[in-house]
Structure 1
Amino acid sequence: MRILVVNVNTTASMTHAIGESARKVAAPGTEIIELTPDFGADSCEGNFESYLAAIAVMDKVLNYPGEYDAVIQAGYGEHGREGLQELLDVPVVDITEAAASTAQFLGHKYSVVTTLDRTVPLIEDRLKLAGLTDRLASVRASGLGVLELESDPERAVAAIVEQSRQAVENDKAEVICLGCGGMAELEARVSEATGVPIVDGVRAAVTIAESLVRMGLSTSKVRTYATPRPKTITGWPISQATRTVHA
C-alpha cells in the first residue's frame, strides 16, 4: 500500500517531520510518500494561505507520477479536501477530521490545541462542516506561529502543554487533539503533563487511510464529490504536468 502524505506549506523540514511521524504508525507493507507543494506559503495561518495551499496540494498530487492508494492532506483546518475528493478515485483523509473523529472514541469531549488565535475560526469551521462539533469542548491557541514549532521547540511545548491543561481543567476536555501537522512527536510530553489521551492528526489519518484501503472503500462519486465535468480550465495544472488531468 502506498499513501501520499502532502504538507500544506512549503517548509521541507516540516514535510519530513510529518512523513517520519506517519511512518511510525504505518503498518508493515505501507509506504509513506511525503510531498511538499511547489508553491505557496512557508506556513499556513490564515484564509489566503489556506486557499493557496488548497490549489498547491491539488496541483502536487495530480502531478505525482506514480501509483498510490490513498492521500492524506496534512494541514489542520485547511481548505481543499473536497477538491481532492472530486479529482481522485482513492480515499482522501484530512488530518483535522481524522484527529477529531478518533478523539471521540476516547472520551466524551475533546479540545484542539493549535498555533495562533487567528487559526481558531478556521478549525472551528472545518469541524462544523465535518459534523464534528457536538463533542468539541474548545479550540485553544498556544500563541505561537507554525514555524516556531521548529525554531523554538521548548517554548512551543510549554505553550501547548499549558493550553492543554486549561482545556482539561477549565473546558472539561477528556482528549486533546494537536491542531497542527507540525506538532507531530509531541503526544508523549503533552499526555504526561495532562493525563489524557493525545491525538496527532497525521498518525490518526494514516491508520484511517489504511483501514479504508483494506476495506476497499473510497469516496462516493454519486453526487457531492462526483468527478468534475470535462471542460476547459485555463492555466491548469499550474506545475508541469506529468500525466493527463482535466483540462
Structure 2
Amino acid sequence: MTRTAILSDIHGNLTALLAVMEHIETQNVDRIVCLGDVVGYGPKPCECLDRVMKFDFCVLGNHDSSAMFDPEGFNAAAEQAIFWTRTQLENAGGDELADEDGITPSRRRMNFLCGLPRTVRESNTLFVHGSPRGPTNEYVMPEDIQNSKKMEKLFSLVPGICFQGHTHVPGVFTTDSRFVRPDEIDGSYDISDPAQRLMINVGSVGQPRDLDPRSCYVVMDEESITYHRIEYDIEKTVSQIESEAELDNFLGYRLREGR
C-alpha cells in the first residue's frame, strides 16, 4: 500500500518545511509530492527549492510561475516579495559552483521551475495547485459551496479525487455541497469508495490561513487521507523576514495568527 505525503504552499518558509519533513520521517511514507508555491512571501526560496527538487514530483503554483514571469493580480507586498524572490533565485551568491555539467545551482533551480507541470494525473487522482479547471490560478474557497454552477463544473473535471492547495485553507469538498474541515473529522477522511468524487485542499506548510498557525500537510494511503498539523519556530521565520528590507514585515507577523 503506497503512502504519499502531500505538501503545498511552502512559500519560502524553510523553518516550517524542515519541521514538516522531520514529521514526515515518522509517517512511513513511500514518496513526497508538492502542489506548488514553493516560493513567494518567505525568506528562504532557494533552500526550499533545493529540498522540493528531491521530491517525487511538484506541480506549478502561481507564485512559482510569477518568479519566472511578471506577477498578475498580486497585492503590493506579494508583488514586492516575488521580485525579491526572483533576485534570490538569479543571484544565489556564494553557492554558484557549477556541477560537472557546468550547471550552477541558480540555473538548476530556474530549470526546475520552468519544467514544472500544471497538473499530474495518476489513474483517478489529479494533483493541481489551484483547481481542476484552472490548475495554477483558480481559487476554490470554502464559501464556493454556495456557488452550485461553479462546483458542478469543477467536479465534472475531477476523475475521482483532486488534491489542491492555493487557498491555504485545508478541507474536503464533496459533491453534495459540503466543505468538511479537518477538525470536524478528527483529521481523517475515508477515500476508499471508488464512486465518490472529492476535492481535497491539503492546506499550507509555510503560510496557513485557517487561523491555526501550525503547518499543515496530508498523508494519503489507499483507504484515507490524514491531516497533520506541525508546530515550528515561527519567530525564526519572522526574524528572517524582518532582516530582509524588501520583504514586508507583515508577511512574517501574519504567520503568528495563521492568516
TM-score (norm 2): 0.31
Q: Which has the higher helix share?
A: 1
Instruction: Report the TM-score when normalising by structure 1.
Output: 0.32
